[in-house]
Amino acid sequence: MQAVVVEREIGGATLRVETGKLAKQASGAVLVTYEGTAVLTAVTEGPPRGGGDFFPLTVDYRERTYAAGKFPGGFKKREGAPSVKEILTMRLTDRPIRPLFPKSYLNEVQIMSTVLSSDRENDADVLSMIGASAALSIAQLPFHGPIGAVRIGKTEEGLVILPTVSELAESSLDLVVAGSADAVCMIEGFGKEIPEDEMVEAILAAHEQIREIVGLIEELREKTGWKPVEYDESVDTSLYDKILASHKDAIRDAKATEGKLARAAVIDEVLAKVKEELIDPESDDSPTEDDVYNAFHQVERRVVRDRILEGVRPDGRTAEEIRPLYSEVGLLPNVHGSSLFQRGETQSLTVSTLGSVSDEQRVDGLQEEYTKKFMLDYNFPPFSVGECRMIRGPGRREIGHGALAERSLVPVIPPADKFPYTIRLVSEILESNGSSSMASVCAGTLCLMDSGVPIKDPVAGISIGLVKEESGFAILTDIMGDEDHFGDMDFKVAGTQRGITGIQLDLKITGIDEQIIRDTLAMARSARIEILRHMLRTLKRPNKEISPNAPRLYRMKINSEKIGMVIGPGGKHIRALQEETKTDISLEDDGTVTITGLDAAGCDAARDRIEAITEDVKVGKVYKGRVSSITDFGAFIELVPGRDGLCHISELDHGFVSSVTDICKIGDTLEVKVIGIDDHDRVKLSRKVLLKKED
């Protein structure tokens, strides 16, 4: 069994790509290894599905728990539906690859990546992207690659190539870039308010490493004896030419109609006329409805792009003009916070819920399990675009858009010691005509402020588009649906006035150069500042108080050695305390105590009780204690759980006491004062010093 192996040093370690040993019945398969992490990626091709002009490319990425020596969590000890991390990696792999196939190629292609080994420090997601490119590059498919992919981090020492999980925890940047040897074709990154110039520097540094990876894959091609695939990319344009000649002006006029739904209705009328003219049910040579629709769609694309390059956008705006903005907060009466943000015909209603530590999201995967205290979920119902369709759970798009908005807001979320609440935002997209994920960022910021979350800075987001032809290109601020659909780029940028917190580039062309990246980020910053000004006119700063509907939450620190005193035997003390005060109490190993309740009085009572239980007994302090036992020489009184003292019979009263039981019995509550603590930590108490002495 002869394997072909290529290696190259990337980021201080060896990147290894091997083929010819595993999964040999696939169209192309490679094993990509970096340090202790290995990913097997296999590519297969199938016949076209038929109908429409959509390229049926499917990417699947799975993390086998055995790769990290773990069992799957939960009752069933077998991997099931893909996790959020796996879905996001599928999208990350798909996005740079899809545009690199010919427009006319409609065969089904499936890419499957499986993590076979994980050292828990080197993430497998970028290796999956490299593996997909390598497997496609040695398969007999019309793939216009190869491409490479790399992750960049940023520490005090500078940029880090392929940072480990530990390094990312200390990094101000988590940036993934994919591209060919000549251009960048995909970007996804998140940072702690990274200035535009520094972001460009990181992207260019990533591209240098991408060239090395592309060279590695080309070496693999050469060693395997791969030969270019002969594929005829020419298409029959006769139907397109006929529609362009006869209906170009009608389509052009229809595209000038104001309003998304009204514009679509007029376009449908033109399409109906075209079908009536060109389709003859009685003729065997007549084009099909699909043929006419696909050709009409291409003419529509041509018209929209030509108008944009002439300086005329579908809704008449200038290239840098943002659609009308509207926002408000506090819409809903019984939630913890709410906001509405509208940009043109895109509308997000975002609602917040504040909770306790017990509401944090546990995340389990190949790395160590951790919890999230901030979450943002994104919903995209069909009515938001005026459609009827099957309603299922969240799809890959909804998960991806939610993750983009969430991670764009994470850098401004206050740390737990300043705001200990768990925060969940839900963005309900009620209307959509372009960049609803960035609307979710804007609405999310306003909702956090309405909820009383002391965010570091407000965050806004915008999407920048591109139409690029040999004759020139146009960059567009705040793209609407048609500009996204018929354009070449969707470049989303979110951030504060100080810098970028989230960035995502998707292309329909093979790549863009440095100048377009710089121009796009400059336009995005200008638009972002304008949107931030609008948002701050709606709500200048976070509310000082959280909603009265939200739970009260207090955090305190106790001596970790006294956690057992709060919990009590078998949890007896903490259960009783929670029942009495109507609160929820959680304790961490370091002594952090979080108290959550529906009203402040209950939380205050629980806090006072915990302070009393855990504080050190002090000489001179007065306590109300319970008599726990009685002897001939005095009474033992429990001052706090697990801590008692002796009130000698001579200290019970000013007069003579013949028997302790004359003064108290077991279970009585006595007010006593600490008068001493001896070298053996024994507490001496007195009752009589608190009594008024009779003459």
Banded pLDDT at 33 (limits 50, 70, 90): very high
The residue written with tokens 């207090």 in the block is 554
Helix (H, G, I), strand (E, B) or coil at 29: strand
Residue 599 has pLDDT above 90, yes or no: no
Last residue of a domain, one of 250, 274, 309: 309
Q: How far is CA 609 from CA 547, 564, 592, 604, 618, in A?
A: 26, 14, 15, 9, 16
Residues 342 and 271 in one domain: no
pLDDT digits (tens, 9 = 90+) for 180-214: 999 999 999 999 999 999 999 999 999 999 999 99
The whole-number pLDDT of residue 1 equals 55
Look at residue 42 in the predicted model and tell me its pLDDT. 98
Sheet holding 13-19, edge to edge: 4-10, 13-19, 28-34, 37-48, 107-117, 57-63
586 with 669, same domain?
no
Confirm whether 314 is domain-assigned: no
Packed helices 436-450 and 396-409: angle between N→C axes, nearest 10 degrees = 50
Residue 140 CA to residue 148 CA, distance in Å, equals 19
> What does the pLDDT read at residue 664?
93
Task: Give me the mean pLDDT over the 631-657 stretch.
Answer: 90
Q: What is the CATH number of the domain that holds 259?
A: 1.10.10.400
Assign 284 a pLDDT band (cuts: 50, 70, 90).
Answer: confident
Task: State how far the Cα of 670 lies from the Cα of 657, in Å rounded to an integer.
Answer: 16
Task: Say what percent of the chain tops pLDDT 70.
Answer: 99
Same domain for 335 and 461, yes or no, is yes
| % of the chain with per-residue pLDDT over 90 | 78
What global pTM score does this model have?
A: 0.88
Contact partners, residue 577, CB within 8 Å, separation at least 6: 566, 583, 585, 606, 609, 610
Question: Can you give the three-state secondary structure of 11-22, one letter per residue?
Answer: CCEEEEEEECCC
Cβ atoms of 354 and 423 closer than 8 Å: yes
Residues 245 and 370 both lie in one domain:
no
Statement to judge: residues 587 and 632 lie in one domain: no
| 680: pLDDT strictly greater than 90 | no
Span 503-525, pLDDT tens digits: 999 999 999 999 999 999 999 99
Same domain, 31 and 102: yes
Q: Specify which residues 377 forms β-bridges with.
A: 426
**Residue 693: is its pLDDT beyond 80?**
no
* Cα R_g (the chain), whole angstroms: 33
The token pair that represents 385 in the structure block:
């675009």
pLDDT value at residue 75: 82
Q: Cα–Cα distance between 210 and 108 in angstroms, integer?
A: 27
What is the domain count for the chain?
5
Q: Is residue 432 domain-resident?
A: yes
Complete DSSP assignment for 63-87: E-GGGGT-PPSSSS-S--SPPHHHH
Better-scored residue on pLDDT, 255 or 284: 255
Same domain assignment for residues 275 and 367: no
The answer to whether residue 232 sits within a structural domain is: no
Q: Is residue 69 part of a domain?
A: yes
Does residue 381 sit in the same domain as residue 455?
Answer: yes
CATH of the domain at 598: 3.30.1370.10
Same domain? 505 vs 593? no
CATH number of the domain within which 634 lies: 2.40.50.140
Is the Cα torsion angle 498, 499, 501, 503 positive or negative in sign? positive
Return the SS3 of 496: coil
Residue 556 to residues 356, 481, 560, Cα–Cα distance (Å): 14, 50, 12
Q: What is the mean pLDDT of residues 337-348?
A: 97
pLDDT tens digits for range 123-171: 999 999 999 999 999 999 999 999 999 999 999 999 999 999 999 999 9
Compute the average pLDDT of residues 235-245. 91
Q: At 617, is the pLDDT very low, low, confident or very high (cuts 50, 70, 90)?
A: confident
* One domain for residues 511 and 417: yes
350 is a domain residue: yes
Angle at 18 between CA 14 and CA 20, to 5 degrees: 170
Burial tier of 638 (Cβ tally within 10 Å: 0-12, 13-18, 19+) = middle
Q: What is the pLDDT of residue 613?
A: 81
| CA–CA separation, 664 and 658 (whole Å) | 12
- 49 pLDDT above the threshold of 90: no
Q: How far is it, in rounded angstroms, from Cα 443 to Cα 31?
A: 43
Average pLDDT, the chain: 93
The last residue of one of the domains, among 614, 630, 655, is 614
Q: What's the 3-state SS for 142-170?
A: CCCCCCEEEEEEEECCEEEECCCHHHHHC
- CB within 8 Å of 331: residues ≥ 6 apart: 338, 339, 340, 349
- Asked if 639 and 686 count as a contact pair (C-beta separation under 8 A), the reply is no
Look at residue 564 and tell me if it is in a domain. Answer: yes
pLDDT digits (tens, 9 = 90+) for 364-393: 888 888 899 999 999 999 999 999 998 888
Kindly list the distances between the CA atom of residue 499 and the CA atoms of 196, 202, 518, 568, in Å, as whole numbers in the listed order: 7, 14, 14, 50
pLDDT in tens, 65-115: 999 999 988 788 899 899 999 999 999 999 999 999 998 899 999 999 999
* Pair 501, 408: CB distance under 8 Å: yes
490 marked among binding-site residues: yes
Residues 61, 177 within the same domain:
yes
Indicate the pLDDT class of residue 54, thresholds 50, 70 and 90.
Answer: confident
Retrieve residue 635's tokens.
Answer: 């009474």
- The per-residue pLDDT for 52 is 66
Residue at which a domain ends, from 538, 561, 583: 538
Q: Return the pLDDT at 51.
A: 66
Tell me whether residue 460 is in a domain: yes
Give me the pLDDT at residue 235, please: 86
C-beta of residue 553 within 8 angstroms of C-beta of residue 420: yes
* SS3 of residue 349 by DSSP: strand
Residues 479 and 499 in one domain: yes
Enumerate long-range contacts of 689-695, CB under 8 Å, 24 or more apart. 689/651, 690/622, 691/653, 691/654, 693/654, 694/654
What distance in Å separates the CA atoms of residue 406 and residue 392, rounded to the nearest whole number? 22
User: What CATH number is associated with residue 372?
Assistant: 3.30.230.70
User: Does residue 272 belong to any structural domain of this protein?
Assistant: yes
146 cis-preceded (ω within 30 degrees of 0)? yes
Domain that holds residue 63: 4-224
Q: What is the DSSP string of 384-438?
A: GGT------S--HHHHHHHHHHHHHHGGGSPPTTT---EEEEEEEEEE-SS-HHH
267 by DSSP, 3-state: which? helix
